[in-house]
Structure 1
Amino acid sequence: MSATDHSDPDLPTIKRPFRWHIVVFLAPAVIVYSAIMILPLIETLRLSLFNTVEGQSVFVGLGNFSTLFGDDRWAASFWNALKNNLIFFAIHMVVQNPIGVALAAMLSIPKLRFVSFYRTAIFLPTLLSFVIVGFIWKLILSPLWGVAPWMMDLVGLKALFSPWLGKPGSALIAVSLISVWQYVGIPMMLIYAALLNIPDEVIEAAECDGITGWSQFWKIKLPLILPAIGIISILTFVGNFNAFDLIYTVQGALAGPDGSTDILGTLLYRTFFGFQLQLGDRSMGATIATVMFLIILAGVSFYLFIIQRRMRRYQF
């Protein structure tokens, strides 16, 4: 039996000092995050349970939610915005993320020339202000002074041009594709990093088995980057259901034409702050914000507790 098997009760217990430096370094970040994120979120949730009656704030419980879902005017606006938000998200999932994966796969091809240039050029639009992006694309797609009709005429497709941003049937798709153009660099870079993180031993083993080229990507690399694709999907979900700025820049607060591009973010803006002759309603605005928070919370929880657990087996 060694001397370390039993501790000597007569020896004094060494008490570790409290690490105050951890608190000192974390305190500024915690204070700032609480001030700009946690406290406003709590106040929004509280405000959604109150309403203003004769100038006084009155607790109404779930009355505002009943109005949002039960009143014909409020319900029509909310369900239209939610439907458009789902379409906005679906376009990003179907168009943006697959393109990002394909671009990352091509950039990871060995001996590809000018990789740094391609990577920078594709990622550059994500650094631009949404005001600049929205204004530029409004000019490009304008039927009066835009360059889109002229460029389509060069390839013989001018007959297909249409004022897409001004037609209810195509406005949401056009704005969604503008957003895809701006942010496709983010999934591309995340997938590209995941591909570079695959161990060389795995690739060498696949090549020894005769698996090369695109077959190697589909059978070996794609399953290994599924966790990264899952992260990108949930980031796309959160970003799309928080979207506001690009649609506000391109289509305005009314999200026209005829509300065809109205999403939850623009509906929240008009409700809370008011617009033109419409007065702002803080309680109903907080109610819409609370519903947005619950939708995002449900989506993130579904990913964390169901999808992510099934994809852990692909992680190294």
Structure 2
Amino acid sequence: MRFRPHILVFLAPAVLVYSALMVVPLFATLGLSLEDRTGGFAGLANFRTLFGDPRWAASFWNALGNNLWFFVVHMLVQNPIGIALAALLSQPGLRGAAVYRTAIFIPTILSFVIVGFVWKLILSPIWGVAPSMLDAIGLKSLFQPWLGREGTALTTLALVSVWQFVGIPMMLIYAALLSIPDEVLEAAEVDGLTPWAMFWKIRLPLIWPAIGIISVLTFVGNFNAFDLIYVSQGALAGPNFATDILGTFLFRTFFGFQLQQGDPTMGATIAAVMFGIILAGVCVYLFAIQTRLRRYQF
């Protein structure tokens, strides 16, 4: 095979930018996690401190547990809703489907600052519109300061994130559904399958690879989450760290906050653990799940 040097010319800018912004900082962070505050080599001492020291371990496991719950809410709410919306909008002859798709997808392009601030205003018990809206339909007694309660703040923010990003799985599944040949669906109609049975027996098995990709993207995105929590609840992720996730825990540790002095080495250690969790999750998907998914070629 003849070597084509022009390929390197086209790839070089992307490789250089990606290396400068992603690869080099990644290895620098991993290296920093193995150092002590004086710059000397500490080995795994920082990791032993993070997992074994009660002062660090309590905050870390609380943040990790909140992160897992944040991810579970997205998996159980966002992705099923996205699949259902895609199935509805892909029905032939549906009027206004393009308008619905656009309206659902628009929140995904909004800034986290806008989304967090607007929903904080909506759910405010003092000047928010949620109490008045529930009062208008006679359900004001159901309103609670959801963002101010330890038991509901994280779930509320997870649902706000679901509202913002449900358009992404919807569009990916919608594209996967459109790629199914009409001949397959017509054959199912000839066999007498109802639309519901056709979805479960024909369409759903054919879009499993797309669902797998959405699941791993959801996993990576949620374990990198930071913006919405920070905008809505601040760096302390209140109330009483009930919404603290690994991203906010990393921010406070690395840069410091208020009277807390920043600790770059421990912050890099938390970042390294986050990288390990994400890498492990992606590897499980690639080698244990994706290889078992049957792909159909048309």
List 4+ stretches of structure 1 deviating above 2 A. Answer: 312-316
- Aligned residue for 1:47? 32
- Which of residues 20, 23, 27 is equivalent to 2:12? 27
1:242 equivalent in structure 2: 224
Structure 2 CA distance for aligned equivalents of residues 156 and 42 of structure 1: 57
Q: Which deviates the most, 206-215 or 243-252? A: 206-215
Q: What residue identity is the alignment partner of 1:208?
A: V
C-alpha separation in 1, matches of 2:289 and 2:210: 12
List per-residue Cα deviations over 1:149-196 (Å, max 9, x = no partner).
Answer: 011111111100000000000000100000000000000000000000
Q: How does 1:1-316 map to 2 (within 5 A)?
A: 16=2, 18-52=3-37, 56-314=38-296, 316=298
Alpha-carbon separation, structure 1, partners of 2:97 and 2:182: 20
Conserved 8 A contact 1:234-1:300: yes
TM-score by length of 2: 0.98
**SS of aligned partner of 2:36:** strand
Greater C-alpha radius of gyration: 1
Alpha-carbon displacement from aligned partner over 1:72-120 (angstroms, at most 9, x marks no partner)? 0100000000000000000000000000000000001111000010000
Letter in 2 for 1:118: Y
Give the counterpart letter for 2:156 in structure 1.
A
CA distance in 1, matches of 2:116, 2:63: 20
- Residue 256 of structure 1: how far off its partner (Å): 0.3
- Letter aligned with residue 227 of structure 1: P
5+ residue gaps, structure 2: none
Which runs of 5 or more structure 1 residues have no equivalent in the other structure? 1-14
Using structure 1 for the length normalisation, give the TM-score: 0.93
For residues 252-281 of structure 1, what are the alpha-carbon distances to aligned partners after superposition, in whole Å with 9 as ceiling and x for unaligned? Answer: 000000000000000000000000000110
CA RMSD of aligned residues (A): 1.0
Count of residues paired in the alignment: 298
TM superposition shift of 1:313: 4.1
